[in-house]
Amino acid sequence: MTLYKNKYRIESARKPGWDYAGNGAYFITICTQNRQHFFGNIQNGIMDLSIAGEIAQKLWWEIPDRFPHVQLNAFIVMPNHIHGI
């Protein structure tokens, strides 16, 4: 592993030489700093979105309005991260 600002970090999972600007299905993960529950909390087994979680969800579904060539698929907001395809 390489050092970044004197901290260990994982190596990139990106495929070397791949042009990520091209067409394809991409699995996207966005994590909060220090795994803070920034997007909400789970209450009785149900995700209760915070204001930030509601904004993240709203903006995800608006991506095709700004980028008409993008097609969205599965998406989920969790307390400390977001997944989307």
pLDDT, one tens digit per residue, over 44-81 is: 999 999 999 999 999 999 999 999 999 999 999 999 99
Instruction: Give the DSSP per-residue string, the chain.
Output: --EETTEE-PPP-SPTT--TTSS----EEEE-GGG---SEEEETTEEEE-HHHHHHHHHHHHHHHH-TT-----EEE-SSEEEE-
3-54 tens-digit pLDDT? 666 666 667 778 888 888 888 898 999 999 999 999 999 999 999 999 999 9
Closest CA to 59 of 43, 47, 72: 72
Q: Is the pLDDT of residue 1 over 60?
A: no
pTM of the predicted model as reported, rounded to 2 decimal places: 0.76
Count of other CB atoms within 10 angstroms of residue 77: 21
